[in-house]
Amino acid sequence: MMCYCRLFVLLALSSFVVESRHLKGNSYELSNFHPSGTNATIEPKIWAVLVAGSNGFVNYRHQADICHAYQILKNGGLEDENIIVFMYDDIAFDVENLRPGVIINKPDGDNVYKGVPKDYTGEDVNVDNLLAAILGNKTGVRGGSGKVVESGPNDHIFIYYADHGGAGILGMPSGVDLTAKDLMNTLKKKHAAKSYKSMVIYVEACESGSIFEGLLPKNMNIYAITAANANESSWGTYCPGEFPSPPSDLDTCLGDLFSISWMEDSDIHDLRKETLDQQYQLVRRRTAVDDMVGASHVMQYGNKTIAKQFVFNYMGANPKNDYYSPSSSDDSSLTTTPSIVSQHDATLLHFWNKFRNAPEGSPKKTEAHKQLMDELSLRKHIDESVNQIISVVFGQEKVPEMLNTVQSAGNPLVHDWDCFKMLVNSFKRLCGSTSRYEMKYSRAFANMCNAGVHINNATQAITQACSTSSPP
């Protein structure tokens, strides 16, 4: 009788351990299990926050990136209750999407939109909700699913952001943009609350290094990777007319180079055996910064010892990749760099291809031509407005200095973040656009604040410049 009891207990424990493999992010590793129930320890949960900071079909690639990331986490074993998704959700069924309900992140890719949670969409994708969600502040979110990061001191957190950026800011489709200082203050509060063990942040945006440069301490157990350093563009890829191109019915870029590099790596590698540093090195090489004119430098910030950990700790691992071999034929694609387009120019490329492909003399041709001309006119207006703002406040002779001054490495972008926040968000509100072209000038506003500009004078100059001869 005793033998049967022992056999039953062993079978039960075996079943429990096997089942723990499928707990999907709630407890991805089991240790110190005691049948008596005393001193039982379940290893940390993985929490993830995925943020697409743009809207509009022209920015298709950002939501495609986020949807792809969700599929990796889901295949890696995370539950939806541990994945919080911020995306405007306006491209899957946009009239320009001839594949309703389908979003792809590479030319021959699967539908990454399927099953993605709609936690925060539309106007609910905003700074206040994002920061409240990271902090685990349920009373601080307005609208959406109300889901927040309810992490504990042993948990791991993964945050991934994809969108347009500028020096010191990350774009958001609703309300104000997110400044580096506001993000950093939130991370410091999260750390002070002892509500995570370690955190990894991936940021896809132009000048994304400026979000952490001189700001992210090494003692907060946070490791950040950015698509670019503090002074350069990041890059769209799988764009119309480039190689490889999207399907002919999609006149827009499907992804971003940094993002598709780490995700296509995660799609096939056994993340239980690949470290964060190994993934960083692969992504850095794939951006081919040494071989491509204008390419960006993928950067690391914060506690770099975290890079020695396995990617699995933050994204889970797809069991289908357990037998991955470096000699696999799929691996060759990870060393090939596709053609790239500057984030600032992806919108122009979209409108140009719409115009080029529309039938001659058709209403579509006329509409596409108008969209292209409107975008060019808007860009000219923004260029002239910034020049006028600086000239009014500092004098014409100071324009080159305000536009081109760059902080030395290791120093934060700006000293007075309140001044910077006021100016960049005033400029967004009065001169902004879906293409977010205006974000390329955030450094100029940082330099104005560093030069001691009077905020009232600057905001008055912004109001006057943006309202003068504004484009249609």
Mean pLDDT, the chain, whole residue set: 89
User: Residue 7: is its pLDDT beyond 80?
Assistant: no
Q: At what angle do helices 346-357 and 363-394 cross, to 10 degrees?
A: 150
User: To which residue do tokens 């973040």 refer?
Assistant: 417
Q: What is the pLDDT of residue 324?
A: 83
Q: What is the pLDDT of residue 416?
A: 97
Q: How confident is the model at residue 434 (pLDDT cuts 50, 70, 90)?
A: confident
Average pLDDT over residues 204-219: 97
CA distances from 141 to 23, 138, 146, 188, 472 (A): 27, 6, 6, 19, 35
pLDDT digits (tens, 9 = 90+) for 308-317: 999 999 999 9
Average pLDDT over residues 70-99: 97
User: Residue 78: is its pLDDT beyond 60?
Assistant: yes
In sequence order, which ranges of 167-223 are alpha helices (DSSP H)?
A: 180-192
What residues are paired with 169 via a beta bridge?
Answer: 166, 179
User: Residue 94: is its pLDDT beyond 70?
Assistant: yes
Tokens matching residue 120 = 């925060």
Q: What is the pLDDT of residue 387?
A: 97
CATH 1.10.132.130 for domain 358-468: yes
Q: How many CB atoms lie within 10 A of CB 95?
A: 7
User: Residue 3: is its pLDDT beyond 80?
Assistant: no
Q: What is the pLDDT of residue 472?
A: 53
Among 330-339, 342-351, 405-414, name the one with the lowest average pLDDT: 330-339
Average pLDDT over residues 415-442: 94
Q: How many CB atoms lie within 10 A of CB 445?
A: 31
Q: How confident is the model at residue 334 (pLDDT cuts 50, 70, 90)?
A: confident
Instruction: Give the angle subtended at the CA of 13 by the CAs of 9 and 17, to the nearest 5°.
Output: 175
Q: What is the pLDDT of residue 204?
A: 98
User: Residue 348: is its pLDDT beyond 80?
Assistant: yes
Q: What is the pLDDT of residue 38?
A: 40
Q: Point out the residues that are catalytic.
A: 164, 206
Average pLDDT over residues 84-111: 97
Percentage of the chain lying above the pLDDT 90 cut: 80
Q: What is the pLDDT of residue 228?
A: 95
Q: Tell me which H or E stretch contains 154.
A: none
The residue ranges of every structural domain in the chain are: 46-341, 358-468
Q: How confident is the model at residue 17 (pLDDT cuts 50, 70, 90)?
A: very low
Nearest to 318 by CA among 283, 262, 272: 272
- Sheet hosting strand 340-342, strand order edge to edge: 255-256, 235-237, 340-342
In the CATH scheme, what is the code of domain 46-341? 3.40.50.1460
Among 194-203, 269-278, 429-438, 456-465, name the one with the lowest average pLDDT: 429-438
Pairing mode, if any, of strands 198-204 and 222-226? parallel
pLDDT digits (tens, 9 = 90+) for 252-306: 999 999 999 999 999 999 999 999 999 999 999 988 655 556 678 999 999 999 9
Average pLDDT over residues 366-385: 94
Who has greater pLDDT, 295 or 164?
Answer: 164
pLDDT digits (tens, 9 = 90+) for 148-157: 999 999 999 9
Q: How confident is the model at residue 211 (pLDDT cuts 50, 70, 90)?
A: very high
Q: What is the pLDDT of residue 405?
A: 96
Q: What is the pLDDT of residue 11?
A: 37
